Structure 1
Amino acid sequence: MKRFSSLLASTLVLLVLVVSAGAAAPQPSALFEAKSVTDRDSALATLEAAAPSDPASAYAAGAGEFFTALETLASGLHRHGFESPQSFMLPLMRLPVPENPNPAPLTYEEFRAILVTFRDRLQKSAATLGSVPAEADIGMVIDLTRLGIDLNGDGAIAPDESAAAIMAALSRGGSPDSVASSLTFRFDRADGYWLQGYAEFLMAQADFWLAHDFKNTFDGSFHMLFPRAKLPLQDTLVPLDGGMGRSIFSSEWRLADFISLVHLINWPVVEPERRQAARRHLLEMIRLSREDWTAIRAETDNDHEWLPGPQQKGANPLTGLDVGEEQVQAWFAALTMAEDLLEGRILLPHFRIADKGINMKRFFDEPKPFDLVLSITGPAIAPYLESGKILTGEEFDQIQRQFGGAGFLTFAVWFN
């Protein structure tokens, strides 16, 4: 009887351990295929709870936090009737946010708060992804037509809000209707570095904006982006019929407001530490890209790769591009060039000045008011001019040539 009791106790302990192990390793599919924000948030909370002891959960949670950061930005913009200008010149403002027929009024302070929340959630994502050990064995199969975010704040994650649909809308001439029936990828440890790097890139953009007081720009031109949010000049400058098209270049009044926006980018520095942080985020992005490509080149499989290495032959189903060794080598050279610029080891040329260049490290670390027009024409960058090694056009052209017909920018957006 005593032996039976001991055996029963051991069995119960074993069952507890088995149940505990199962609870510590939740499946990420509930997160990546959720049809509602409630279900998605519940799955994310479960993964976040398991993350400290389970690398796969941390990986999935970090990815989920990244996408909820984008959702926070999109829903904040949608709430105030944002209309995307569809311009590469305003990268943070390109999300394909649906139309809102009843937008809420927007103030400058509320817009800054949207950016702060977006930036802080990205930081959480980067920290979670950074907690995943380098040697972790990760392999998550995700269909981008099933993974989505709530763009319009209605609590549902619809097919036209999927990652695939968003990428199609962002691409040149793309639309949700052009999404492939399935875009399935197996995301591995290398892809975690990639996503973490993008979080750092977006944080750099948000911090640069937040480092400055851009209220004059907001008051004088942001009705171009929020035409019905009761901005100061809405009644004076926004056509009653909304004008023609969202694109800057297909609408006379939006083009005029874009010119106003450029003219009004003369931003005093109000949080200098954020401009300094922007440079650190960009340097961290470069470091993560190197980690990413080191991990990619060490892979021996070829299983639905998001970013294939030269040894993983075949065109990527999303980009249609094949990656060769020459592109990888050129990318490493581009990373070194960018790092040298950000560290002030080489100087950025200015078309008006032959014997000096711009020290970009000092541009970020010793912030002065940012005037876009005067930076282009010269006066605003004068304090950052130095003698030294200046980047030449030939050096950059040599890197660009390695990327062939698709072009450097196409690969850069994909490679990060």
Structure 2
Amino acid sequence: MTRFAGLLASAFLLLLPLSSAHAAAPEAATALFEAKTVAERNRALTTLESAAKGDPASAYAAGAGEFFTALEILAGGLHRHGFESPQSFMLPLMRLPIPDNPNPEPLTYEQFRAILVAFRDRLERSAATLGSVPAGADIGMVVDLTHAGIDLNEDGSITPDESIAAVMAALSRGGISSDGAAPSLTFRFDRADGFWLQGYAEFLMAQADFWLAHDFRTMFDGSFHMLFPRAKLPLQDILVPPAGDMGSSIFSSEWRIADFISMVHLVNWPVVEPERRQAARRHLLEMIRLSREDWKAIRAETDNDREWLPGPQQKGENPLTGLEVGEEQVEAWLATLTMAEDLLEGRKLLPHFRITASTGQGINMKRFFEEPKPFDLVLSITGPAIAPYLESGEIVTSGEFDQIQRQFGGGGFLTFALWFN
């Protein structure tokens, strides 16, 4: 896998449903990850959820299955309304390989919010279930990612081209292949990986809650025909060209470029549910806590058996990323977590290029979330929108971040960060 393909595959880690179970895996857990239909998968998940309170292994597998179905809620909603991904390395989540839908249903702003709410609430359920697993539980389950998958098109089946391995391959190639050429990716997931997955559930909840905290109807009406060109959005008949003229890449046609500019310009969102913006910060802080727990558990491992996320003592390149983890990367990542926590707690301030260091002022990110004001992306970049959050204090310097980045070597900070969580 090339470095670029590895980066794309790593970006998908934030959407990857992984899990473990006890060394003697519950039968339902095996059924969950080998299911060929949604009905079969759901029966296994119901069985695991029923056994979860008395069995850490069942709770672990159930929490992963709930994460699984959260992704399915999102993918199904996108497919139902004819989502068409404008391919762009700048927007990795827009590379999700949602199959074509020749007869999409109309989409309204309220329906799109409902999809986000259902996705977010299912993630919350997953995080709670995974959080019920004792930290010292004996977890270890071998999962072949060419068999585990999600129903991307709501047809009730989980086919080989909907496997996690196939989706990751599609992310690196730019499209789903049905030729059975998806890489063989088998891992033995352990207790540490549960903290990892729970942390990603918190990360995705933070993103969903941030969107839902605001009224983004104007952006939806003015630019979402770029994502759902045949879902009867307000400007479809005016601004959507014939299918052959659309282009697959976000910068492959004037139409794509224009709508991307519109989307950025229309990120000027009034706050409608301030408690959700506050919750987004709490989710990010919980993600940081879970990442620390993850690395504590990884460092305590003495085996080296098909590790999803190996520690420095577990030598060998990871088959997914092609990277090997050293102590310097772990220490740098833990420093990154401390820096992020300091920013979210307001102990340190975020610099802005428009605010000179001599003023001693920076952005208080805790107040950004806790005292929400309308979010304007362009004015946040250019400066006016961040003025209410400026205050004097200790500012994170570029030198601090550069020092951390150097510890990640040629693999790059972003690849490691998406993998590490």
Q: Same fold (TM over 0.5)?
A: yes
Please, which runs of 5 or more residues in structure 1 have no aligned partner? 1-23
Aligned to 1:64: 65
Aligned to 1:32: 33
Deviation, structure 1 residue 250: 1.2
Aligned to 1:8: none
Assess if the C-alpha contact under 8 Å between 2:107 and 2:231 holds in 1.
yes
- TM-score norm. by structure 1 comes to 0.92
Larger radius of gyration between Structure 1 and Structure 2 = 1
Assess if the C-alpha contact under 8 Å between 1:25 and 1:54 holds in 2.
no
Deviation, structure 1 residue 323: 0.4
Aligned to 1:267: 269
Residue aligned with 1:142, SS: strand
Residues 369-408 of structure 1 aligned to structure 2 (within 5 Å): 369-408=374-413
Assess if the C-alpha contact under 8 Å between 2:34 and 2:147 holds in 1.
yes
Offset from partner CA, 1:314-345 (integer Å, 9 cap, x none): 00111111000000000000010111111111
Offset from partner CA, 1:188-220 (integer Å, 9 cap, x none): 000000000000000000000000000000000
Structure 1 segments, 4+ long, off by >3 Å, are 24-27, 87-94, 171-181
Pick the aligned partner of 2:329 from 327, 330, 352. Answer: 327
Q: Structure 2: which amino acid aligns with 1:73?
A: L
Aligned to 2:415: 410
Aligned to 2:54: 53
Aligned to 2:141: 140
Residues 301-312 of structure 1 aligned to structure 2 (within 5 Å): 301-312=303-314
Distance 2:243 2:332 in 1: 49
Please, which runs of 5 or more residues in structure 2 have no aligned partner? 1-24
Offset from partner CA, 1:338-366 (integer Å, 9 cap, x none): 11111111111000101211000000000
Residues 239-388 of structure 1 aligned to structure 2 (within 5 Å): 239-354=241-356, 355=359, 356-388=361-393
How many residue pairs were aligned? 393
Change in 2 beyond 3 A, CA 1:232/1:93: same
Is the deviation greater in 45-54 or in 92-101? 92-101
Assess if the C-alpha contact under 8 Å between 1:279 and 1:361 holds in 2.
yes
- TM-score norm. by structure 2 comes to 0.91
Distance 2:232 2:175 in 1: 31
Identity of aligned residues (%): 83
Distance 1:55 1:138 in 2: 8
Distance 2:132 2:376 in 1: 38
Residue aligned with 1:249, SS: coil
Residues 152-191 of structure 1 aligned to structure 2 (within 5 Å): 152-171=153-172, 176=177, 180-191=182-193
Distance 1:92 1:205 in 2: 12
Deviation, structure 1 residue 238: 0.2
Deviation, structure 1 residue 185: 0.3
Deviation, structure 1 residue 247: 1.7
Deviation, structure 1 residue 175: 5.6
Q: Structure 1: which amino acid aligns with 2:66?
A: E
Q: Structure 2: which amino acid aligns with 1:71?
A: E
Change in 2 beyond 3 A, CA 1:395/1:172: farther
Offset from partner CA, 1:139-178 (integer Å, 9 cap, x none): 0100011000000111111111111111222347676469
Assess if the C-alpha contact under 8 Å between 1:81 and 1:104 holds in 2.
yes
Residues 71-82 of structure 1 aligned to structure 2 (within 5 Å): 71-82=72-83
Q: Structure 1: which amino acid aligns with 2:150?
A: I
Assess if the C-alpha contact under 8 Å between 2:160 and 2:180 holds in 1.
no
Distance 1:178 1:349 in 2: 48
Assess if the C-alpha contact under 8 Å between 1:227 and 1:238 holds in 2.
yes
Offset from partner CA, 1:115-150 (integer Å, 9 cap, x none): 000000000000000000001000010001100000
Q: Structure 2: which amino acid aligns with 1:42?
A: R
Q: Structure 2: which amino acid aligns with 1:150?
A: D
Assess if the C-alpha contact under 8 Å between 2:123 and 2:205 holds in 1.
yes
Pick the aligned partner of 2:223 from 218, 221, 224. Answer: 221
Q: Structure 1: which amino acid aligns with 2:119?
A: F
Change in 2 beyond 3 A, CA 1:402/1:202: same
Residue aligned with 1:186, SS: strand
Aligned to 2:207: 205
Aligned to 2:98: 97
Please tell me whether residue 234 in structure 1 is matched to residue 217 in structure 2. no
Assess if the C-alpha contact under 8 Å between 1:73 and 1:115 holds in 2.
yes
Deviation, structure 1 residue 179: 5.4
Distance 1:159 1:379 in 2: 50
Give the aligned CA root-mean-square deviation in angstroms.
1.5
Aligned to 2:6: none
Q: Structure 2: which amino acid aligns with 1:152?
A: N
> Comparing both chains, which one has the higher relative contact order based on Cα–Cα distances under 8 Å and sequence gaps of 6 or more?
2
Deviation, structure 1 residue 369: 0.1
Distance 2:278 2:90 in 1: 22
Please tell me whether residue 128 in structure 1 is matched to residue 129 in structure 2. yes
Residue aligned with 1:350, SS: coil
Change in 2 beyond 3 A, CA 1:222/1:25: same
Assess if the C-alpha contact under 8 Å between 1:164 and 1:179 holds in 2.
no
Aligned to 1:15: none
Residue aligned with 2:188, SS: strand
Distance 1:380 1:193 in 2: 35
Change in 2 beyond 3 A, CA 1:327/1:110: same
Deviation, structure 1 residue 243: 2.2
